[in-house]
Amino acid sequence: MIKAILIFNNHGKPRLSKFYQPYVNTQQQIIRETFHLVSKRDENVCNFLEGGLLIGGSDNKLIYRHYATLYFVFCVDSSESELGILDLIQVFVETLDKCFENVCELDLIFHVDKVHNILAEMVMGGMVLETNMNEIVTQIDAQNKLEKSEAGLAGAPARAVSAVKNMNLPEIPRNINIGDISIKVPNLPSFK
Amino acid sequence: MALKMVKGSIDRMFDKNLQDLVRGIRNHKEDEAKYISQCIDEIKQELKQDNIAVKANAVCKLTYLQMLGYDISWAAFNIIEVMSASKFTFKRIGYLAASQSFHEGTDVIMLTTNQIRKDLSSPSQYDTGVALTGLSCFVTPDLARDLANDIMTLMSHTKPYIRKKAVLIMYKVFLKYPESLRPAFPRLKEKLEDPDPGVQSAAVNVICELARRNPKNYLSLAPLFFKLMTSSTNNWVLIKIIKLFGALTPLEPRLGKKLIEPLTNLIHSTSAMSLLYECVNTVIAVLISLSSGMPNHSASIQLCVQKLRILIEDSDQNLKYLGLLAMSKILKTHPKSVQSHKDLILQCLDDKDESIRLRALDLLYGMVSKKNLMEIVKKLMTHVDKAEGTTYRDELLTKIIDICSQSNYQYITNFEWYISILVELTRLEGTRHGHLIAAQMLDVAIRVKAIRKFAVSQMSALLDSAHLLASSTQRNGICEVLYAAAWICGEFSEHLQEPHHTLEAMLRPRVTTLPGHIQAVYVQNVVKLYASILQQKEQAGEAEGAQAVTQLMVDRLPQFVQSADLEVQERASCILQLVKHIQKLQAKDVPVAEEVSALFAGELNPVAPKAQKKVPVPEGLDLDAWINEPLSDSESEDERPRAVFHEEEQRRPKHRPSEADEEELARRREARKQEQANNPFYIKSSPSPQKRYQDTPGVEHIPVVQIDLSVPLKVPGLPMSDQYVKLEEERRHRQKLEKDKRRKKRKEKEKKGKRRHSSLPTESDEDIAPAQQVDIVTEEMPENALPSDEDDKDPNDPYRALDIDLDKPLADSEKLPIQKHRNTETSKSPEKDVPMVEKKSKKPKKKEKKHKEKERDKEKKKEKEKKAEDLDFWLSTTPPPAPAPAPAPVPSTDECEDAKTEAQGEEDDAEGQDQDKKSPKPKKKKHRKEKEERTKGKKKSKKQPPGSEEAAGEPVQNGAPEEEQLPPESSYSLLAENSYVKMTCDIRGSLQEDSQVTVAIVLENRSSSILKGMELSVLDSLNARMARPQGSSVHDGVPVPFQLPPGVSNEAQYVFTIQSIVMAQKLKGTLSFIAKNDEGATHEKLDFRLHFSCSSYLITTPCYSDAFAKLLESGDLSMSSIKVDGIRMSFQNLLAKICFHHHFSGLLKLWPRAAQEVVERVDSCASMYSRSIQGHHVCLLVKKGENSVSVDGKCSDSTLLSNLLEEMKATLAKC
């Protein structure tokens, strides 16, 4: 079973958190503790870590990968194959890359809901649902299509506005490898 | 319409969406919290609006804020609203939010049952998918029970996308509702052979997860998995299966034998490291399960170890880590084969990766022997010195202690060496494990008598250097060792060289800076020391010396009396008074030593940690029985005396032996000493070294201050452990020489006495004699201690409930609870579901399907039983003798035969298996024959009673409904029927789409022809129109999207737009279709009238009681009432009927104490609420009188209210 999936950046800012076990009041603590454990590790060490205390007993392991500015951490128990999960993280990231077209941290920041939807096609309730990237992408595309058809005519103005809002950005840096740079967005004049 | 929507969306396009929120948070780095609280206020406003899109947007933002750690539980109800949106876009947002924030404690979760059921049966696969995904995260026992059957149906869905999700979620359902496991298992098993690889993988996943917890129930699946393993190419599935086999082999060694070959092949052939690794792991598990006796054993081990060595030597740190991990498993059973790689493992200790070092440390644990213990510990000690970071150093420290103390100090040959290692470890700065070292010191000093003298001398040196410890590491865990040092010096003070010196050391003013519990031990042991000094002095006749010591005590003790720690203070003041008294006596020249030392007479024996629990209850003693009858209830203080009594009861066995028992104890102690004396090298293998002192209270709470010292602290004047290593080598060398001599002599003898195997040249463990005669005192256990060791099992293990025998045939009572809507079925449904729930229909088709499936399940079951029986055949590797043709793993002939035979009783199976196991091959066949004949004979007698088939169709009653039950009702009413087709329909309003209702029409084919080309044409009225596909005119019929084979039914849904909902109305319509059978096709028609009642415009909407009160107070509502006489039905059921037929619901309590108390209700009066699709509030007050019921209604529209009440009257009149 996968107990939790966390994505955070080099500064420990959570970008996605998905808990498959009820950790009602400790989620933030777990994220912090996990970041603390993972971030102090060198680049060339193994990707497995004996789990933190908060997330559960000795049966649990943290399996993580570090991509540019982001850590992808899976907390799993002994029924999962360590190397298998490493592959799974790779599939996850590649899928994100396909769905977002050259994914970067900003995509995850602004579209965490989409990331959740992609993840939901891979892992369900802590168990691996699908490992085939093409299958995942097909389903995601089909759902996006459905969403678009639902928005239909009514969705058009909202899309236009969000396009305008994005246009006001000087540029969206696509490949950010420089940590958590803050993009200064000129405040939109209030239309209300 | 479209224009309105566009307008609405223009209004809200300047609302903040998720991206704006994120952007805003990033722009408000300085006052993030303030900004977010503003946003939350905005979100609260948005949630109050009626537009579902606005709500969904708000919920989407909340989901993001939840990730940042903000509480969003207050929005649970809004989340449910968004979940019930009709559009997938919004639904998905709702379900995501629910999956992120709902948990078992969320009270509104019970409101979702129907919504989820509706989504599960939605025609859109993505609606179903999103519901399954969401449910997997927040399923509760109630949801699991209510939805298990729906999910099980989905396991046979036509779309693999749904099938795999349904299969996977079943695991969660099993966990929450274990009763569903047996009914669902046959289908789950079926899915192992699903044509779609995704579904197959999901099924493997679920079964592996189940089998991991309770492997023995899944042994019978081994042949199936074996087949999968040899045929599958999906590495993910293979890994899961291989892991599963790893869990199964310990239960069935024969399985292991069968596995070795294919696994070895995989190891050789696969290029995937993950698969290779899991194969090696399982082979190891197999080898562990096979006790020796297999000739080609060593080859497999060699292969594993060799592959693992390759992994460990790999430059990839991950492989290195896993290699070490697997190596530690081999170590347990085949230490020899691992020990040869000691160099490699020691090398890993120097790795820069901490995880790898830790794994290497684990391996060391199993690699020590008497021979190499000192060497390995020496190496670890150098690592301790080098290590940066306290965590790793602490880990090293615990490992050193673990290694040395394992299996009751089995590998320690020289305890002086061990004590000095422990003393050296006290030099560690900033360790948290002072108490561990202390516990070891105490344990060794108490249990190894021979070492006491040495230990005492070391401890006194430690106490002497206490100023060092106390000053530099004052608030540090390491000062815990002083606790042990003080106690040892006090308790065994007779071994002290210079007791006076030690006494002074213990009375130094600095001692008062130590933590309280240590000071307390100091105080207590100072007296012990004092007593022994007093005795020495008096015996030597030094009266002055004795008085000087007393004076020292009187001078120094007051510093402890002033302690802030209560324990220290109390002990110190007691003792101070005592000493002052002694001083007076001494002044009169009265000898006091005898009496003072009598305070501490007798020896303390180590008591096993579990001893207390193991004290058997004496025969005839009933601990639960009252000694005196309890006082009457009127006494308010009833509880208190009882509690006191309990405490005494528990404490009693802990007391030191009282005077009366003293004699008896002394006698026993003598006897034991005698026994141990006769056995000089007495080592008891107690399960674990004593760790009583490990949980000394308060240690963890002492804040650790890091003190930066460049020079490691040396304890002056203490022997270094290193010299022991040298000494030990010399000693062994000497021993070896002696032994060689002896051996030579023996050899000479042997030469004379003809050939005998000369002993191996290498020195085995047993050859090393310990340096001291060691007597390890066993820990005391009470007499007649119960041998059972069941204290390790956790009664709260959630997986225990899933320990269910799956091979037993399904009993008729074991069916998943089903919510039914058909009137024809005479089953009863749980009443409890009715009030909350507008009954959700199920496609009638399901019923037939169910039947077939049941049939199929039965066959499967038989097959499974067969397989369980065949497991023995399948597992036996030796081919049967040639003349009798061997039965194939699943012989087809047998299967046919088996299909004919009745399902066999379990006993038969077990019996058969037992016999099979015992009897050799050729006989087995015969046995089977016999057995089969036997069962055939039984066949007739076992015929099921005729009624049982119908009984099986009844749903299980879940819960325990307290009152009489309502007959099940259907929200579907008859629309029209003829000889070909029967139409029933249900009208449901939906909250999101203004003024729209969905009409679900169930068409059932009653003829023997196929019905095709069905078309529905409805005549629109001014007020109500049918939504038709774009481009079709008002007069065109709308096609029904399916055909109906004979006996099948299906449901079609149509949307109608209603202008005004205050009045009921009727629409005329016609169903036209082509009925085709063998003789030909005919065109047929069926007219019907759709009746839109006012109730059908209502939507069951939960309402909290406070909101309800506000609504009534507002005064905007007009009122009307009705009264119906002659009602005999119970009030309970009456309310249920109103809820069901008129879509009302009871009020929710704000703070329900328990799930069943959610609805507010007084005995004969109930408030109810509902809402129309156009947003009218309808409030009811239902009162029950003698044989009559009155209903007062308030509604924002008076026409609607009066029409509703009329409809209600009609319903009630039928009661």
| Segment 85-124 of chain A within 8 Å of chain B by CB | 86-87, 109-113, 116-117, 120, 124
- What number is the average pLDDT over the span B113-134? 92
> Above 60 in pLDDT, residue B79?
yes
CA–CA separation, A87 and A85 (whole Å): 5
A192 touches chain B (CB under 8 A): yes
Out of B584-593, B611-620, B890-899, B1016-1025, least confident range: B890-899
Total beta-carbon pairs less than 8 A apart between chain A and chain B: 180
What one-character DSSP code corresponds to residue B214?
Answer: S
> Above 80 in pLDDT, residue B65?
yes
| Segment 41-80 of chain A within 8 Å of chain B by CB | 41-42, 44-50, 79
Token digits for A19?
Answer: 């808990």
pLDDT band at B63 (very low <50, low <70, confident <90, very high): very high
| Segment 591-650 of chain B within 8 Å of chain A by CB | none
Token digits for B94?
Answer: 């709702």
Token digits for B129?
Answer: 């998918």
> Above 60 in pLDDT, residue B949?
no
Secondary structure class of B1093 (helix, strand, coil) = coil
Secondary structure class of A8 (helix, strand, coil) = strand
- What number is the average pLDDT over the span B140-166? 92
Q: Around Cβ B926, how many Cβ atoms within 10 Å?
A: 11
pLDDT band at B829 (very low <50, low <70, confident <90, very high): very low
> Scanning every residue of chain A, which has its alpha carbon at the shortest distance from the alpha carbon of B355?
A49
pLDDT band at B1180 (very low <50, low <70, confident <90, very high): confident
Q: What is the pLDDT of residues B345-362, one digit of tens each?
A: 888 888 888 778 888 888
- Contact (Cβ atoms closer than 8 angstroms) between residue B194 and residue B163: yes
B208 touches chain A (CB under 8 A): yes
* Largest pairwise CA distance in chain B: 132
Question: Can you give the pLDDT at residue B1189?
Answer: 84
CA–CA separation, A174 and B462 (whole Å): 64
Question: Can you give the pLDDT at residue B1163?
Answer: 66
Question: Can you give the pLDDT at residue B835?
Answer: 42
Question: Can you give the pLDDT at residue B40?
Answer: 92
> Above 90 in pLDDT, residue A140?
yes
Out of A53-57, B162-166, B198-202, B1195-1199, least confident range: A53-57
Contact A124 B165 (CB under 8 A): yes
CA–CA separation, B895 and B867 (whole Å): 10
CA–CA separation, B135 and B162 (whole Å): 13
Q: Around Cβ B762, how many Cβ atoms within 10 Å?
A: 7
> Could you tell me which residues come within 8 angstroms of residue B445 by beta carbon, excluding any fewer than 6 positions away?
B451, B452, B455, B456, B459, B484, B488, B492
Token digits for B38?
Answer: 């503003």
B429 touches chain A (CB under 8 A): no
CA atoms within 13 A on the CB side of B38: 10
> What is the average pLDDT value for chain B, to the nearest integer?
74
Question: Can you give the pLDDT at residue B982?
Answer: 86
Kindly tell me the sign of the dihedral angle through the C-alpha atoms of A189, B2, B8, B9: negative
Question: Can you give the pLDDT at residue B257?
Answer: 82
Q: What is the pLDDT of residues B677-701, one digit of tens each?
A: 555 444 443 444 433 434 444 444 4
- What number is the average pLDDT over the span B794-810? 69
How distant is the Cα of A148 from the closest Cα of chain B, in angstroms?
9
Q: Tell me which amino acid residue A136 is.
A: I
Q: Around Cβ B843, how many Cβ atoms within 10 Å?
A: 16
- What number is the average pLDDT over the span A17-28? 87
**Using CB atoms, which residue from A46, A87, A128 is nearest to B205?**
A128
> Could you tell me which residues come within 8 angstroms of residue B194 by beta carbon, excluding any fewer than 6 positions away?
B160, B163, B200, B203
> Could you tell me which residues come within 8 angstroms of residue B307 by beta carbon, excluding any fewer than 6 positions away?
B267, B276, B280
- Contact (Cβ atoms closer than 8 angstroms) between residue B4 and residue B995: no
Question: Can you give the pLDDT at residue B408?
Answer: 80
Contact B202 A127 (CB under 8 A): yes
Question: At B780, phi and psi to the nearest 5?
Answer: -75, 140
Token digits for B655?
Answer: 């007391």
pLDDT band at A134 (very low <50, low <70, confident <90, very high): very high
pLDDT band at B171 (very low <50, low <70, confident <90, very high): very high
Q: Please report, in angstroms and rounded to a whole number, the separation of the first and last CA atoms in chain B.
A: 43
Out of B377-386, B844-853, B971-980, least confident range: B844-853
B315, exposed or middle or buried, with CB in 10 Å at 0-12, 13-18, 19+? Answer: exposed
- The structure tokens 């609607």 sit at B1200
> Above 50 in pLDDT, residue A184?
no
> Above 60 in pLDDT, residue B866?
no
> Above 60 in pLDDT, residue B827?
no
A146 touches chain B (CB under 8 A): yes
pLDDT band at A25 (very low <50, low <70, confident <90, very high): confident
**Using CB atoms, which residue from B67, B169, B235 is nearest to A112?**
B67
Q: What is the pLDDT of residues B704-741, one digit of tens each?
A: 444 343 333 344 444 456 666 667 667 767 776 776 66
Beta bridge partners of residue A50, listed in sequence order = A61
> Scanning every residue of chain A, which has its alpha carbon at the shortest distance from the alpha carbon of B17?
A162
Residue A102 CA: distances (Å) to CA of A73, A174, B72, B340, B643: 21, 8, 33, 49, 68
- What number is the average pLDDT over the span A9-33? 89
* Range with the largest mean pLDDT of A43-52, B113-122, B333-342, B467-476: B113-122
Buried b (16+ CB within 10 A) or exposed e, B433-467: bbbbbbbbbbbbbbbbbbbbebbbbbbbbbbbbbe
Out of A39-53, B133-147, B443-457, B497-511, least confident range: A39-53
B88 touches chain A (CB under 8 A): yes
CA–CA separation, B144 and B118 (whole Å): 15
Relative to beta strand B1145-1148, strand B1177-1184 is: unpaired
A176 touches chain B (CB under 8 A): no
**Using CB atoms, which residue from B63, B126, B168 is nearest to A124?**
B168
Token digits for B730?
Answer: 């010399």
**What pTM did the predictor assign?**
0.56
Q: Which one of B89, B196, B204 would you mutate to disrupt binding with A, by most A Cβ within 10 Å of its Cβ? A: B89
Q: Please report, in angstroms and rounded to a whole number, the separation of the first and last CA atoms in chain A.
A: 49
Question: Can you give the pLDDT at residue B118?
Answer: 92
Beta bridge partners of residue B1039, listed in sequence order = B1015
CA–CA separation, B159 and B354 (whole Å): 47
Q: What is the pLDDT of residues B1075-1126, one digit of tens each?
A: 888 778 888 888 888 888 888 888 777 777 777 777 777 777 788 888 888 7
Residue B565 CA: distances (Å) to CA of B482, B512, B898: 17, 10, 79
Residue B74 CA: distances (Å) to CA of B71, B620, B1114: 8, 57, 25
Token digits for A123?
Answer: 């892992």
CA–CA separation, B530 and B509 (whole Å): 17
- Contact (Cβ atoms closer than 8 angstroms) between residue B1021 and residue B1065: yes
- Contact (Cβ atoms closer than 8 angstroms) between residue B1000 and residue B840: no
pLDDT band at B1159 (very low <50, low <70, confident <90, very high): low
> Above 50 in pLDDT, residue B831?
no
- What number is the average pLDDT over the span B813-841? 48
Question: Can you give the pLDDT at residue A135?
Answer: 92
CA–CA separation, B16 and B29 (whole Å): 18
Q: What is the pLDDT of residues B427-451, one digit of tens each?
A: 776 677 788 888 888 888 888 888 8
Kindly tell me the sign of the dihedral angle through the C-alpha atoms of B336, B338, B341, B344: negative
CA–CA separation, B562 and B554 (whole Å): 14
The 3-state secondary structure of B692-725 reads HHHHCCCCCCCCCCCCCCCCCCCCCCCCCHHHHH
Secondary structure class of B406 (helix, strand, coil) = helix
A130, exposed or middle or buried, with CB in 10 Å at 0-12, 13-18, 19+? Answer: buried
Relative to beta strand B1145-1148, strand B1080-1092 is: unpaired
Token digits for B881?
Answer: 């003798």
- Contact (Cβ atoms closer than 8 angstroms) between residue B383 and residue B409: no
CA–CA separation, B889 and B648 (whole Å): 65
pLDDT band at B786 (very low <50, low <70, confident <90, very high): low
Higher-pLDDT residue of B253, A109: A109
